Structures are given as C-alpha cells and as structure tokens.
Amino acid sequence: MAVSEHRVAHISEIPDDQALITEVQGRPVGIFKVDGELFAVRNRCPHRGAPLARGTVEGTMLPTCKAGELKYGMDKQVLKCPWHGWEFDLRTGECLFGVSDRRATTYNVRVENDYVYLQM
C-alpha cells in the first residue's frame, strides 16, 4: 500500500496537550502537540467508537513491585478516552494494561517549514 502525505495544519494551530481535530481522506484525525512533539491518532476509539481525540492527555497509575501498590507514571504519554476511560499509548496506540488487544490507529507526523504533514 502506498503512503500518502497530507499537509494538515500550521504548527501554531495545534494546542499544547490537546488535539487539533481535522479530517484527512475522509478520516477524522486528532493531532496532538505534547512537550513539542507531535502525535496523530484516528479520532475513533476502537472500543465503542468514541471521539478519542476529545479525550485527555495524561499519565496513569502503574503497578510497582509491592503487591497492591500503584504509582503515577507515563505522564503526558497516555490518551484517555472521554467515554469509558480506556487508556492508549499516544505513541503506539496500544491499549494499556491488557484491557484489550485493540489499538488506536496512529499516523506518522512530520514538520517542514512550520507546516505539519500527516502520512497515511
């Protein structure tokens, strides 16, 4: 399958830690800027079809070596679905903690001359 590339926004249009939601080739996509790094996720949760890019970018509670103990981690690396709270790794789309083997669809992003390009 051939990769197509689309100019989707100027870097200044993407808010920090939130999504710029756009449509590319008929697909809704959320583009996130987190600590200066860009991520793109299809705006559809694989669980129940929620608008995933309307969720929050945050961290999550991680298990520790001590039984029953948790600690906060993965700060600004987790996209949390607004409907049911499912958590996805913002980089890979992987659903966290074995809840499901379904993944959020992610896309490669690059910046050239302050314009953001999405590869599909």
Estimate to the nearest angstrom the gap between the alpha carbon of 33 and the chain centroid: 10
- Rounded to whole angstroms, the Cα distance separating 78 from 34 reads 11
Give the global pTM. Answer: 0.90
In this structure, the dihedral spanned by the alpha carbons of residues 15, 13, 43 and 92, taken in order and rounded to 10 degrees, is -70
The class that CATH gives domain 5-119 is mainly beta
Please list the ranges in the chain whose pLDDT falls under 70: 1
Supply the pLDDT for residue 1: 64
Supply the pLDDT for residue 77: 97
Number of H helices, E strands in the chain: 0, 9
Supply the pLDDT for residue 97: 79
Tens of pLDDT, residues 52-86: 999 999 999 988 888 888 899 999 999 999 999 99
- Rounded to whole angstroms, the Cα distance separating 29 from 79 reads 14
